[in-house]
Amino acid sequence: MKTDQKPYRQQFIELALECDVLQFGEFELKSGRISPYFFNAGRFSTGSALARLGRCYAAALMEASVSADMLFAPGCTGIPLVATTAIALADEFGVDMPFAFNRKEAKTHGEGGSLVGSSLKGNVVIVDDVITAGTAIKESMAILDAAGATGAAVLIGLDRCERGDSSLSAVQQVEQHSGISVTSVISLHDIIEWVDGNPEMMACRDALERYRERYGVM
């Protein structure tokens, strides 16, 4: 399956490999499946890596042409993602977009509450690394609804493009249940296409293709 290999997609894959965020081998997932690749966004852990990461996220969001007023991150893992995306939107595209995230536990002193950052309002893009079961997105939609804001889209780093308990992928289930679109910086299809263009990585190709044929969705 050929994808449109935008420069930011290739840059994201190369950055993920440099930071050991994207690894090839045999990895047992929570589902019990043995995956030929693994993605751990927590390894984007330096200032320069986050700066480059933010530019990729921002480029993907701008290409999607989403009408948005602000960004929101669910929980701890999304905090650096939403912050660096907001910085890149301002620096690279001249879009100064406010952002917020929620605490794991509500603060009981000072101003209190579970939200940090700008007040939730208008059309909001939810920013995260991947969608596994969609739980974080459902919780985020409930938070937005309670604040009177609207979910405009979801922006993630990687779409694994694989079926869950049904014929739909986790991303497709979120889109179906929430009624909003999910934009990813890259997908499994992009990874396979990138491998095709890099002969030194071809040892991974067959395993990736077999995994896609067994579990994948288009």
Q: Give 163-193 pLDDT, tens digit per residue.
A: 877 888 889 988 988 889 999 999 999 999 9
Q: Strand order of the sheet with strand 181-187?
A: 113-117, 99-107, 70-73, 123-127, 150-159, 181-187
Residue 107 appears among annotated catalytic residues: yes
Q: Which of 2, 30, 104, 109 is catalytic?
A: 109
- Counting every residue written for the chain, the total comes to 218
pTM of the predicted structure, to 2 decimals: 0.92
In DSSP notation, the chain reads: ------HHHHHHHHHHHHTTSEEEEEEE-TTS-EEEEEE-GGG--SHHHHHHHHHHHHHHHHHHT---SEEEE-TGGGHHHHHHHHHHHHHHH-----EEEEEEEEE-STT-EEEEESPP-SEEEEE-SB-SSSHHHHHHHHHHHHHT-EEEEEEEEEE--BB-SSSSBHHHHHHHHH--EEEEEEEHHHHHHHHHT-GGGGGGHHHHHHHHHHHB--
Percent pLDDT > 90 in the chain is 68
- Tell me the domains of the chain and their CATH numbers: 7-215 (3.40.50.2020)
| pLDDT surpasses 80 at 196 | yes
CB-based contacts of 92, cutoff 8 Å, min separation 6: 55, 58, 59
Q: Which of 6, 30, 107, 177 is catalytic?
A: 107
| pLDDT surpasses 90 at 4 | no
205: amino acid identity, one letter: R
* Model pLDDT for residues 75-111, shown as the tens digit of each residue: 888 899 999 999 999 999 999 999 999 876 555 444 5
